[in-house]
Structure formats: structure tokens, C-alpha cells
Amino acid sequence: MVEQAAAADNLEAGAAKKAKNRTQRSFWYELPILVAIALLLAFVIKTFLVQAFTIPSGSMENTLQVGDRVLVNKLGSWLGEDVERGEVIVFKDPGGWVTTPLVRPANPVTRGVQDVLMFVGLMPAADQKYLIKRVIGLPGDRIRCCDDQGRVTVNGAPLDEPYVFPGNPAAVVRFDVVVPEGRLWVMGDHRAVSFDSSKHMADPGGGTIPLENVVGRAFVKIWRPENAGWLPVPSTFEQPALNKDG
């Protein structure tokens, strides 16, 4: 009886060991599949839904600080939703606006990590140049600066712009333009240092950018913690007068 009990115990122990080994093998077999699925989901999300972008310069201060990270809603662009005045948008360089190339790390491990972050959308692609500005004028709008109180006007309605960097004028250069169809007039909140539409009026398009270059609207700051929060459209852009000819 003792020998039979010992044999039974050995059989149970052997079965348990085999089951454990099968579980371990199953985990290692499934891990690459799970990683592949996670990467595929991340790719789909950053391609069609939401992508993170890091702020590289002070052109949107104090709304956005250097090193802040924002989430950009890309779904609206895919669905053909209209861009609205006052939104902070990310767009592809229309040509010659970004002059500083992305420096790739020399360390292959660091470069590999950067490649993964680019793939999952936590960093923009190295071969793409993006900018972030605020939409001031839509197609057909007449944008002027400045009125007798030094304000930018849209179709004759002055903008109250508390988001402009303290001490900056509404614009560094004067302008009076009508935004062409299919294009936008954009400006940085730090007007003195932002190379935006007002600084590119000699370019093709008169400083405006193509609507097709818009990646999406930046709707929330997720990093750094002390500067995190939503990016709402300022109330000045809700004026009914903006939709009237000025």
C-alpha cells in the first residue's frame, strides 16, 4: 500500500511538473503574439485616433512650454471635421518653416528605443517635420493687424487674446490678408518668437498653410504635471461677429 501511495504521489508530481512546463512554454509562445498585437493596436491608435507630440520650442508660450507633451486628436481629420478658429493644431511643415533637423542619438540602443517610441506614437517620425500653432483665420476670413488698439481683427471683429505671451504685441509685423480657400492663417501665442503665418507672407500661399497639412487638434496637455490640462478654444473666438464680413 505504501508503495502504491508513493507511486501515485510520483505520478501526480510528474503531471503537475508537466502542466507547469506546458504553462511556461505557452506563456513564452504567446508573448511575441501579445507584443505584436499591442504594437499593432498602438500603431492603429496613433495613425487614426490620437498621437502624442512634444513641444520643441517656445513659440506657444505660455500656453505650452518647451518639453510639454500634448495629445492630438487625429480622428477629426480622418472624418473631415472642420477646423475651428482658436484651436491649437499640429500640422506638417508646408515648406521651409522647420529649419532645425531632428538629431538622432549616436547610441544604437537609445536610437532603437526612439524608433519604438516613434512607431507607437510617443514621438513623431524622424522624417516628418511638424509645427504647433493656434488657428486665427479660416478660408475666406480677412485677418488684419492691427486696429487702433493694437489688436488682431477677424472680419472686422477684434480679438481679445489673454493667451498671448505677456509683454508681446498682437503681432510683430502688420498685415491685411484674406485667407484663400483650402488654407488657414495660424499664429503662435509667443508672437515675438513664433515663425508663423505673419512671418511667412513672402512664401507661396502668403503665409497660410494648406488644410490638408493639418494632423489634428491638440486638446490636452499630459506632461509636465505642473502644466497639464485641457486646451479649450478661448471665448473670444465665440463672437458671432467673426462670421460677418468686416
Residue 88 resides in a domain: yes
Which parts of the chain sit beneath pLDDT 50?
1-2, 4-11, 13, 15, 246
Residue 41 falls inside a structural domain:
no
Query: What pLDDT sits at residue 106?
Result: 72
Position 29 in a domain: no
Counted domains in the chain: 1
CA 148 to chain centre: 35
Q: Which ranges in the chain belong to alpha helices (H)? A: 2-44, 75-79, 108-120
33 lies in some domain: no
- In a domain, residue 25? The reply is no
pLDDT at 11: 47
Whether 23 is in a domain gets the answer no
Is residue 43 domain-resident? Answer: no
Per-residue pLDDT, 70 = 95
Cβ of 92: how many Cβ atoms within 10 Å? 18
Domain that holds residue 64: 50-243
- Quote the pLDDT of residue 186: 98
How high is the pLDDT of residue 8? 44
Specify if 172 maps to a domain.
Answer: yes
Half-sphere exposure (CA, 13 Å, Cβ side) for 5? Answer: 2
CATH number at residue 115: 2.10.109.10
Predicted confidence at residue 246, as pLDDT, reads 47
Question: What is the set of active-site residues?
Answer: 59, 133
The whole-number pLDDT of residue 199 equals 97
pLDDT digits (tens, 9 = 90+) for 215-230: 999 999 998 899 899 9
Residue 112: its pLDDT value, please?
75
Q: Give the pLDDT of residue 148.
A: 96
